[in-house]
Amino acid sequence: MTAVQKQMRRGVPSPPPEALRDDHRFAAWAAEAAGRVLLDLRDSGLAGKELKDAGDLRSHEVLMELFARYAPADSVLSEEQHRGTAGRHDRHTARRVWIIDPVDGTREYSEPPRDDWAVHVALWQDGELAAGAVSQPALGRTFHTGSAPAARKPATARPRIAVSRTRPPAFVEELAAELGADLAPMGSAGVKVISVVRGITDAYVHAGGQYEWDSAAPVAVARSAGLFTSRIDGTPLVYNQPEVLLPDLLVCRPELAAPILDHLATHPINH
């Protein structure tokens, strides 16, 4: 028995019966299980790059073990798997593929007590995102497609746009000026998308390069909450593709979609 399996037996209980019957709740339970392991690891004394690397690997191992145990016929696309960790099954021929990001926002994860990092678990089935969960372990909350809240009304009269706290792109500053919006810096792509679901912000626009695992789960949750999602040219976000690079996206309140897309169509973006 591996060290990870021993830790799982101690710290990760069996899923509740409803999680085994419902993909939405299974996604949420799996994300929360990985999140608990990450919180324990965060308190272990590791720091900096060691904590980042250990968190990515440990969360990936936990999630892969859970899928092997409870969804053995499904395929998995993970950020860590893409880096070279062996996976199961061929996702290109599978009907069901779990798309996961074991730690979204490793920088923030490695900077306790920051809470703007997440675990992403999404299910792609027959060409569409069928379920998804974004767990924010340090916040003690998980948002999933089985009970996603309707997107809340804006918290302020001026729109707020979520941006990277370390490298906000210039094109978003131009967009904010045209919309009369304020910028809200935060970490983790998933946290930014969920901030729109929670009504903390009104839009998240990204064009700096991402991968499918960065957005699959949060986009699934955003869609179930009634938000608008697309590429920045207005075309649909498509997942489980041969090329996993999905470099841009827009998630926003429906009434902001047209003015944002109009602006992006007429203003060149330097990636």
CATH number of the domain where residue 234 is located: 3.40.190.80
- Write out the DSSP string of the chain: --HHHHHHHHH-PPPPHHHHH-HHHHHHHHHHHHHHHHHHHHTTT--HHHHHHHHHHHHHHHHHHHHHHH-TTSEEEEHHHHTT---SS-TTT-SEEEEEEEEE-HHHHTSTT----EEEEEEEETTEEEEEEEEEGGGTEEEETTSPPPPPPPSSSS-EEEEESS---HHHHHHHHHHT-EEEEES-HHHHHHHHHTTS-SEEEE-S--BHHHHHHHHHHHHHTT-EEE-TTSPPP--S-SS-B---EEEE-HHHHHHHHHHHHHS----
Rounded average pLDDT over 184-194:
96
CATH code, domain carrying 7 = 3.30.540.10
150 found inside a domain: no
How many structural domains does the chain have?
Answer: 2
Of 117, 144, 171, the residue at which a domain comes to its end is 144
Rounded average pLDDT over 219-225:
97
Tell me which residue range forms the domain holding 8.
3-144
140 shares its domain with 9: yes
152 found inside a domain: no
> According to the model, what pLDDT value does residue 81 have?
67
Reported as a pLDDT band with limits 50, 70 and 90, residue 270 is low
151 found inside a domain: no
91 shares its domain with 129: yes
Of 119, 144, 169, the residue at which a domain comes to its end is 144
> According to the model, what pLDDT value does residue 7 have?
47
102 shares its domain with 53: yes
Of 144, 168, 184, the residue at which a domain comes to its end is 144
164 found inside a domain: yes
69 found inside a domain: yes
187 shares its domain with 240: yes
Rounded Cα distance between 28 and 99, Å, is 13
Lowest mean pLDDT among 102-116, 140-154, 181-195: 140-154
> According to the model, what pLDDT value does residue 194 have?
97
Reported as a pLDDT band with limits 50, 70 and 90, residue 88 is low
183 shares its domain with 79: no
83 shares its domain with 201: no
Sequence-distant (6+) residues with CB within 8 A of 250 are 203, 204, 205, 206, 228, 229, 230, 231, 232, 257, 260, 261, 264
262 found inside a domain: yes
154 found inside a domain: no
pLDDT tens for residues 118-165? Answer: 999 999 999 999 999 999 999 999 999 998 777 666 666 899 999 988
Rounded average pLDDT over 51-61:
96
> According to the model, what pLDDT value does residue 84 have?
43
pLDDT tens for residues 244-253? Answer: 999 999 999 9
91 shares its domain with 168: no
97 shares its domain with 39: yes
**pLDDT above 60: residue 254:** yes
Reported as a pLDDT band with limits 50, 70 and 90, residue 82 is low
Rounded average pLDDT over 7-32:
83
7 shares its domain with 130: yes
